[in-house]
Every structure is written in structure tokens, then in C-alpha cells.
Amino acid sequence: MNILIWHVHGSWATSFVQGPHTYLVPVTPDRGPDGLGRARTWQWPPSVREVTPEELRTSDLDLMVLQRPHEVELAHRWTGRRPGVDVPAVYVEHNAPHETPDGTRHPLAGRDDIPVVHVTHFNQLMWDNGRAPATVIEHGIIDPGPLWTGEDPRAAVVVNEPVRRARTTGTDLLPRFARAAPLEVFGMRTDNLATHLGLAPDRCRTRDLPQAELHPAMARCRLYLHPVRWTSLGLSLLEAMFLGMPVVALDTTEAREAVPADAGVVSNRLDVLDEAVRAFLADREHARRVGERARAAAQARYGVRRFLDDWEHLMKEVTR
């Protein structure tokens, strides 16, 4: 099939485009949010083709994969065809509802011709999906390999824009965790995070690395810390498990489902999480054993083959 999909979420899309189709990714001269084109920091296959809005007018399309509310109108304007009416379409919802779960109606809740695909069961439950057919296809991760060494006695944290996102990503909790272990915070716009939090630079180092360098750098840290309060299940959490890292995470959103009891410590009691961080820091062999179980659990549930098979099944249903 020819599938129209915008480059919105690079990590998720990297797994999605491993399928057997041709993926048409819009590109604009400024490579802005609606025209990023092919990824530059992830490895995408040749089957991902950049197309301009003008070229989309005459492109054969079998399926539209939408990911943002305005793409419904944008797809119609750029292709001349209505998603869900003239061309089959699905809407991938990457996020948990930003407001309250009892009052957040999904943007597609009023129509029944475009299925909404959630990435976690928690998200499906919390969104008011209305009339929209809603289903779940859990994440699929391209296995980076068991890279964990744990040689650096630090806790790795991965978060983009931690200052702006604040309590949503648990940024306010980092000073507390920094007392239990020095932190290595990876992500975009993490500059001056230590100053913002009032931490010494050696207790909160920050790094914005290309994707190819991120996993080996994470894997040198002793453990992975996931202080997120309210976002979807982070791909970085699952990637850390694939690397063989033991996990310490807040018991929020889908974390409990993703991290079995023997693969890390998941709790909303901060004293329990502090103790877990210190235990992994103090005992590298303990961290190794738990990390191996985390990797096995992630491989069993979040492999890319299962992810692609789930998508193939759904796409056949939508386009038949």
C-alpha cells in the first residue's frame, strides 16, 4: 500500500515504517512541523519517500495515518481527498488526555469513520472516544541489543523539555532523586536544568545526543529512572528495558503494565523509589540481574514484529 503519514514522532515512526509498504512523508521547503520529511537521526528504509504537498495531489493513496487533530483538514487540503470518506484513514493517538480523564473528549469522538488507535490501554480508557472506533496497538521497539554495562553509578533519565513540562514529567522530583543518585538527564532542551533545579552540576548532568549515541550512553548508567506523572508510556522506558537496564518508575499511566515486579521497582511511594535507586547504585550485580529480566519482559511484549503484525491486521480491516 501507499501510506500517507506525517513525521511527527520519530521513535514511534521508525518502528512503523519497517513494514512492507511505501510510506509517503510530506516535506516542505522549511521542513517545519507539517513538512519534516525523512528522519535525519533515525535509520529509515528507502520505502519512506518524501513528497511535497503539490505531489500529494496526484499520488496514489491507500491509507492515511493521522496523528494530530489538524491533519484531518490538512490531508484534505493537500490531497483533495477526505480522510475516512475518500481514502481510508486511522488516527494514532500518542498521548494520554492532557486535561482530566473525566472531561477530555477525543478530537475524533464525533465521527465513526476513522478508527482511533491508542498506544496503551490506559490511554484508551482515559480518553472519551465517543462514537469513534477505538483500539490499542502497543508499542514496538527495534531491539538495540543488551548494551547495559552499568559502569557509571548514575541514574539515567530521558525527557524532552523538562523545564517547560515541569510536573507532567516529574521534573520537580529530580532534586529529591539527585540525593539518592547523581542523574544523567538525556533529551532536548535540557540545558541549564541543574541551575533551574538548584542542583550542583555533578548531581545533574544533561546531554542532548543523536539517536545513534543515545542508547550506548544510557546503557553505561547503572539504572533507568522514570519520574513521569502523566504522559503516555514513554518509549525511552521500554528502550531502557531492551538495553538491559533495571527500572525505577512512578506507578502512573501504563508503567505497572510494562514493568513486571522482577524487572524493577514501580511505586508511588517516594521513599520506596529512593531505596530502590540506592540499592541498584550500591550493588551492580543486583542491577545486572534485574536488568536482564527487564530486557526479557520487554522482548516478550514490545517486539517490533508483534507491533507490525498488529498494524497489518488493522490496516487490512480498515482498507478492505
CA pair distance 310, 315, nearest whole angstrom:
9
Q: Which residues of 35-49 are buried (b: 16+ CB within 10 A; e: fewer)?
A: bbbbbeebebeeebe
Instruction: Tell me the per-residue pLDDT of 37-72, one tens digit each, with 9 for 90 and over.
Output: 999 888 999 999 999 999 999 999 999 999 999 999
Please state, as a whole number, how many other Cβ atoms lie within 10 Å of the Cβ of residue 268: 11
Give the CB-side neighbour count of residue 216, counting CA atoms within 13 A: 4
Instruction: Tell me the per-residue pLDDT of 222-239, one tens digit each, with 9 for 90 and over.
Output: 999 999 998 899 899 999
What pLDDT shows up at residue 205?
96
Instruction: Tell me the per-residue pLDDT of 1-41, one tens digit each, with 9 for 90 and over.
Output: 999 999 999 999 999 999 999 999 999 999 999 999 999 88
Q: Could you tell me the sign of the dihedral formed by the alpha carbons of 259, 256, 158, 46, in that order?
A: positive
What pLDDT shows up at residue 231?
86
Task: Compare 37 and 101 and report the one with higher pLDDT.
Answer: 37
Q: How much is the average pLDDT of 231-254?
A: 95
Mean pLDDT, the chain, whole residue set: 96
Q: Which of 189, 191, 215 shows the shortest CA–CA distance to 201? A: 191
Instruction: Tell me the per-residue pLDDT of 105-139, one tens digit each, with 9 for 90 and over.
Output: 999 999 999 999 999 999 999 999 999 999 999 99
- Single pTM value for the model: 0.94
Supply 281's cell numbers: 547504585
